[in-house]
Homo-oligomer: A and B are copies of this chain.
Amino acid sequence: MPTLAFKLNDHLYLRDPQHTQLGQKIIHSSMLLIDQLGFEQFTFKKLAEEIDSTEASIYRYFENKHRLLVYLIAWYWNWMEYRIEIFTSAVADPKEKLKTCLRILAEEKKYDPTFEFVNEEALHRIVIAELDKTYLTKGVDDLNKEGLFGGFKSVCGKIASLIHVINPNYPFAESLVSTVLITANQQLFFASHLPSLTSLEANESRFNRLYSFLENIVFCSINAENNYA
């Protein structure tokens, strides 16, 4: 059975992990391990033990653990873009398209059988807890030049262009979208760990509440009459 694989920027890895068994084990197990331990406590040595391989072998796939994280999170944004594509292609009205995007971003992430070796629930927790660490580093500019944030930028750009269609006079489309993409994850983190910083609760309702919050922010801002240019 043919497993779907994303074509990711090939600067993200040294050897493409999607195409070998060891590579797939690296992706699969690193997700679980980073989720469990957190990125700081995660090491290639621990991962090697987990998959009965060696540090040296893992280094043939990824230059270092930071790049592995960037890879995993790039995979996530590719997955988001793929889902947005699927669920908005049939929708004509740009406002409805935009709502669908927000729903996809806010919804609970569940196992997607399209991608065998990826545990989307663990990956989402990684995105929530580690996303910012991909770019909050002195090396951002180099990573960016290599195009490693392409997935995130692409999602951001597509949603921003919907906003441009809905209201060409709204002057903060890109900022609004990047804010929403990031806050969607951040608010879930706060709900779990710093509840006084969020209006969401740590129960099942939080995904619907999150959607309402995002919809409120986005539509109120772009529909407003008084656009501060």
Contact = CB atoms under 8 A, between A and B. Distances in A.
Interface of A: 37-38, 40-41, 129-130, 132-133, 135-138, 140-141, 144, 149, 152-153, 156-157, 171-176, 178-179, 182-183, 186-187, 189-190, 193-194, 196-200, 212-213, 215-217, 220-221, 223-224, 227-228
Contacts of A173: 199
A186 to B, nearest CB: 7
B198 A135 contact: no
A21 B135 CA distance: 35
A171 B153 contact: no
Contact of A194 (B144, B212, B228): B144
A106 to B, nearest CB: 12
B135 A136 contact: no
